[in-house]
Amino acid sequence: MTELSIVRLVAGGDGLGFADGKAVFVPGTLPGERVRVSISRARRDFDQAVLREVVTPSPHRVAPGCRYAGVCGGCDWLHIAYEEQLRQKAAIVAEALRRTGGIERPEPPIEPSRPWGSRSRAQVHRDPEGRLGYMGARSNRVVAVESCPIAAPAIERLFVEPPPVGPRDRFTAFADGDHAAVEGRDDERDLAVEVNGRRILLSVGCFFQANLGLLGKLVDWATAGLAGTAAADLYCGVGLFGSFLAPAFSRVTFVESSAMSLSYARRNGSGPDHQFYPLSVEQWIQSGGAPPAAGALDAVIVDPPRAGLGAEVRQWLNRARPRKLVYVSCNPVTLARDLRDLVSSFTLDDLRLFDFYPQTSHVEAAARLSAREDA
């Protein structure tokens, strides 16, 4: 047993402490706490540990609001009061920008969510006995659950009344109003979500943001003031951002590797001069579809997966230098890495966080950049 003090929380949600000068990462902890831990995995530069006892608790520690806390892998911050979760997420993003991106900025503002019942999209798993649940904490074992307080009520009801989805061992569920659409049963049904007065169509199999309560605020912030002749919505999914750009631009280019998602983007961002590419962003660049000349695009919005922008995409953005660039990210570390490469051609004007994932260490970040005149 090792006793140590937790210095801060890091990207990924664990607490960081030091034992004999060596970094130790401990889930389930808070800054300022004195804890006893067992080392679960020793590496050359750091150790991973399991929390055994909180000797001196933080004033921000709370009793978890879910009976599956620590067993289910869905939520890793159930032990932290919600206001403190917001503060810690802002601190983690600022630290990632400094350490990974070499960018010094104050902690960004964060838009709060409803702490409970806000998750409108979930990946549900089936255990060997046929019960539904989520993957276990730091394991590949399914934990069967009968309730999920972070999920929208329509999704939570699925755990009590499992839907007929055939032999699937996992499926996506999406809260479509008072009902939950599920893969394997509702694949052919068009779902409709209203965002800031605009009707967005999608399928349950398409990727879509999981917090509808905050989505309108993110869209407003990301698209505010953008107008001109040509814009691009890259990694566009069902064309959410592009559909809001379409009225303000003569031509919007939608790029998405999922053919199904792009079919919905065509419906959500309809217009005679808009362009749609069923390609990865890298393939779009390689095919010559991407404008090679600097300044050919007035605005670009990118919303990549957790891995962030590939090197080829960052290089193209630095060459193309759209007048305005908006980067939406679910991973502060890859966001910071990418901004490090982009600030040679762009000025980072603003950064805002949106707490799409309360009770977890995850956060949605959005950065607004302008092309540098001197680049």
CATH of the domain at 249: 3.40.50.150
What is the C-alpha to C-alpha distance for residues 345 and 356, in angstroms, rounded to an integer? 30
- What is the per-residue pLDDT for 139? 86
49 — pLDDT class (breaks 50, 70, 90): very high
Q: Which of 52-56, 290-294, 340-344 has the lowest mean pLDDT?
A: 290-294
| 124 domain residue, yes or no | no
50 — pLDDT class (breaks 50, 70, 90): very high
| Domain of residue 39, residue span | 1-61
Give the residue-averaged pLDDT of 43-62: 96
196: its two tokens: 């800031």
Q: Which pairing describes strands 34-42 and 121-126: parallel, antiparallel, or unpaired?
A: unpaired
187: its two tokens: 């694949």
Kindly give the interhelix angle for 82-99 and 332-342, rounded to the nearest 10 degrees: 40
| 111 domain residue, yes or no | no
Q: How many folded domains does the chain comprise? A: 2
Give the residue-averaged pLDDT of 142-157: 95
293 — pLDDT class (breaks 50, 70, 90): confident
Most confident by average pLDDT, 268-272, 290-294, 354-358: 354-358
- What is the per-residue pLDDT for 164? 87
Q: Would you put residue 146 in left (φ > 0), alpha (ψ -120 to 50) or beta?
A: alpha
318: its two tokens: 């630095």
Give the residue-averaged pLDDT of 294-309: 95
3-state DSSP assignment of residue 154: helix
Cα-based torsion angle of the residue sequence 1, 15, 95, 226 in order, rounded to the nearest 10 degrees: 160
Residue 167: pLDDT above 90? no
- What is the per-residue pLDDT for 123? 95
What is the C-alpha to C-alpha distance for residues 302 and 13, in angstroms, rounded to an integer? 25
What is the C-alpha to C-alpha distance for residues 125 and 131, in angstroms, rounded to an integer? 8
| 364 domain residue, yes or no | yes
Q: Which of 50-64, 129-143, 231-245 has the lowest mean pLDDT?
A: 129-143
- What is the per-residue pLDDT for 91? 97
- What is the per-residue pLDDT for 310? 96
Q: Of 61, 79, 94, which residue constitutes the final position of a domain?
A: 61
- What is the per-residue pLDDT for 67? 95
Q: Which pairing describes strands 228-234 and 299-302: parallel, antiparallel, or unpaired?
A: parallel
**Average pLDDT over the chain, rounded to an integer:** 95
| 142 domain residue, yes or no | no
Give the residue-averaged pLDDT of 359-369: 98
- Sign (positive/negative) of CA torsion 338, 341, 346, 352? positive
What is the C-alpha to C-alpha distance for residues 15 and 26, in angstroms, rounded to an integer? 5
Most confident by average pLDDT, 41-50, 84-93, 288-297: 84-93
| 169 domain residue, yes or no | no
- What is the per-residue pLDDT for 37? 97
Nearest to 265 by CA among 245, 236, 303, 229: 236
105 — pLDDT class (breaks 50, 70, 90): very high
Nearest to 235 by CA among 338, 151, 150, 148: 338
Q: Which pairing describes strands 299-302 and 275-277: parallel, antiparallel, or unpaired?
A: unpaired
Is residue 133 exposed (0-12), middle (13-18) or buried (19+ Cβ within 10 Å)? Answer: buried
87 — pLDDT class (breaks 50, 70, 90): very high
Residue 176: pLDDT above 90? no
Residue located via tokens 């067992």: 38
| 177 domain residue, yes or no | no
Give the residue-averaged pLDDT of 51-80: 96
Output the domain CATH number for residue 23: 2.40.50.140
**238 near 208, Cβ under 8 Å?**
yes
What is the C-alpha to C-alpha distance for residues 368 and 222, in angstroms, rounded to an integer? 8
| 85 domain residue, yes or no | no
Residue 292: pLDDT above 90? no
240 — pLDDT class (breaks 50, 70, 90): very high
- What is the per-residue pLDDT for 375? 64
Residue located via tokens 């499926």: 171
- Tell me if residue 330 is catalytic: yes
Helix (H) or strand (E) holding 97, with range, is helix 82-99
Helix (H) or strand (E) holding 328, with range, is strand 324-329
pLDDT tens digits, one per residue of 179-237: 999 999 999 999 999 999 999 999 999 999 999 999 999 999 999 999 999 999 999 99
Q: What is the DSSP string of 238-287?
A: TTHHHHHHGGGEEEEEEE-S-HHHHHHHHHHT--TT-EEE-S-HHHHHHT
Nearest to 134 by CA among 363, 359, 370: 359
Percent of the chain surpassing pLDDT 70 = 100
- What is the per-residue pLDDT for 304? 98
Give the residue-averaged pLDDT of 22-46: 95
* Strands (DSSP E) found in the chain: 2-9, 15-19, 22-26, 34-42, 46-56, 110-111, 121-126, 132-135, 142-144, 170-176, 179-182, 191-195, 198-202, 228-234, 249-255, 275-277, 299-302, 324-329, 346-354, 364-371
| 226 domain residue, yes or no | yes
